[in-house]
Structure 1
Amino acid sequence: METTTLQNDLLVHCITATSFPEGVKQAHEQLHGLVPFDENRKYFGLSWPAEDGRIIYKAAAAELHPGEFSTHHLETKIISKGDYLLIDVHDFMKDIPAIGNAFQQLIYDSRIDPQGFCIEWYMRTDLCRCMIKMKTH
């Protein structure tokens, strides 16, 4: 496991999956259909447990230009600045379960913020950074 620091809050626009894990691909496809793909855009998957034990999952992306998503009226979330514990998953498309395995390691680390959520940051087409915010001191 490694750590990284986000220097600034990051506003993302989200589409909620209808179910987890079955609806995840569809949520990402729907999000990608709203704006053109751009390798400079930041794409994410955000997840956390609901009160009933289900997993809430949101496909998310950051705007490249202010107001770019405004006509779509999407939910927004903030990925907070601060320190994050992370595991990079290389070639994740060849081993999707590796993302879940990374989060299974991260969620049991005593350094994570219990109010944090799981963040999949799709940094490249072959790299998914799995991260959870760390407790602040």
Structure 2
Amino acid sequence: MHTDPLRVLISDEERALLFSLSNYLTFRGCQVDCTERLADAQALVHHLHYDVVVVGLRADELARVRELAADLRGLNHPTRVVALAPKSVDSESSAMREARRGLLPVDRVIERDLPLAELARTICSALVD
């Protein structure tokens, strides 16, 4: 039986999302680290083991999301990558289309506008898919 807390890294530039999702997941027993920058997330995954890495998906950071996912795949422990995609922002639609078509190396794409409880539940369920 696995009793260690789920270790989650959240990387997103929206502070309100970082704060609320981190608090919710911590309350649910997860150990959560947060960063506003993907570059910081890349550094963290080389030093700490995460079960799930959640990244905000922005059109101007697709290359860095690919790099982060490649870094994670090269490590000796399995880590799921969940991308938070905007629902309908035009500037982000290409990123979301690319992710949904499987062109980004992420395990799951979810809409960032979901209610917090559903968002957290979906992130945690990424481990069993």
Structure-1-length-normalised TM-score: 0.27
Instruction: Flag the structure with higher strand content.
Output: 1
Structure-2-length-normalised TM-score: 0.28
Instruction: Flag the structure with higher helix content.
Output: 2
Question: Which fold has the larger relative contact order, with Cα–Cα distance below 8 Å and residues 6 or more apart in sequence?
Answer: 1
